[in-house]
Amino acid sequence: MSDHYVHGYSPVEATRLSRQANILSEFIHSNAVFAPGDRIVEVGCGVGSQTVQLAARNPSAQIVGIDRSADSLEQARALVAGHGLNNVQFQQCDASVLPFEDGAFDGAFVCFVLEHLADPEGALRELRRVLKPGAKLHVFEGDHGATIAWPDDPDIHRLVRAATQYQATQGGNAEIGRALTPLLRAGGFHSIQVEPCVAYADLERPQWVEQFTRHTFIDMMKSLRERLAGSGLLDERASELGVAALERAALEGTFSYTFYRAIAFRW
């Protein structure tokens, strides 16, 4: 369980995360607006793909990005510096034990993180502790269960199911999007507003085909091939068939994937 982040820490994955952040930025950031002077914690900031957008869109807020991986934080620091942003600090720690006092933050931002945690409810409770009463929380997570392709193909279902199972063996949940409301309630938040956001690509949306279907979703599936084979969930040949079917949907058809965006407030 030393590697909770199922997609790994390679330079290729960092590039994929950056592309994902760009094509999905309106979904993720359009309503992630905080007040000037607010202190915002970003849990699981990783290599900083979302941090740079959060910081640029909230220039008068102070962002504190936390992550378990020192290497990722190193990359995040370089990315933030490269963007000329000076309202971000980073701290290495685990989401389950935050090194901050109670009520230290005015808001929080959590993107593609809960899906990787063995105890997302516990992490939300710990996050709640370091938030002021009334603080606003933004969450953005995917759900593999709403992966829809045309032409449809059993090979796609096999691959996505194996990816979901693999994430479960790592303690995560690739179908967490649908569970945000009950999770946030259990974690001590109220006035929860969840909104599904569908990333949809077809022949009339070439940018989404390239940036989302190909370089976000298919690249993610490709990055899992060895791990799926190594764990006995799906052999490499079956993974390749799934990827080939996804490539056909990208080339001549349509592809949809649903994310869930939530805003909630600390009691």
Measured distance CA(189)–CA(174) in Å, rounded: 22
Part in contact with a copy of itself (CB under 8 A); list of ranges 6-14, 27-35, 87-95, 200-208: 200-208
First to last CA, the chain: 33
Backbone CA torsion sign across 33, 34, 37, 38: negative
- Residue 48 or 253: the one with the smaller Cβ distance to a copy of itself is 253
Q: Do 147 and 156 meet the contact criterion of CB atoms below 8 Å apart?
A: yes
**What's the number of CA atoms in the CB half-sphere (13 Å) around residue 188?**
18
- Note whether 164 binds a copy of itself by CB under 8 A: no
Instruction: Indicate the length of the chain as a whole number.
Output: 267
**What's the number of CA atoms in the CB half-sphere (13 Å) around residue 88?**
28
Which residues 115-154 are close enough to bind a copy of itself by CB under 8 A? Answer: 143, 145-146, 148-150, 152
Q: How far is the CB of 182 from a copy of itself (least distance, A)?
A: 6
- Note whether 161 binds a copy of itself by CB under 8 A: no
Sort strands 105-111 and 88-92 into parallel, antiparallel or unpaired. unpaired
- Note whether 195 binds a copy of itself by CB under 8 A: yes
- Residue 130 or 180: the one with the smaller Cβ distance to a copy of itself is 180
- Residue 8 or 206: the one with the smaller Cβ distance to a copy of itself is 206
- Residue 77 or 178: the one with the smaller Cβ distance to a copy of itself is 178
Helices 154-169 and 219-230 pack at an angle, to 10 degrees, of 70
- Note whether 31 binds a copy of itself by CB under 8 A: no
- Residue 59 or 182: the one with the smaller Cβ distance to a copy of itself is 182
Q: Do 261 and 139 meet the contact criterion of CB atoms below 8 Å apart?
A: yes
Which residues 173-192 are close enough to bind a copy of itself by CB under 8 A? Answer: 175, 178-182, 185, 191-192
- Helices vs strands, H then E, count in the chain: 10, 7
- Note whether 61 binds a copy of itself by CB under 8 A: no
- Indicate the helix (H) or strand (E) that contains 110: strand 105-111
Nearest to 94 by CA among 119, 58, 60: 119
- Note whether 87 binds a copy of itself by CB under 8 A: no
The site string for a copy of itself over 223-252 (x = CB under 8 A, - otherwise) reads -----------------------------x
- Binding residues vs a copy of itself (CB under 8 A): 143, 145-146, 148-150, 152, 175, 178-182, 185, 191-196, 198, 200, 202-204, 252-254, 256, 258
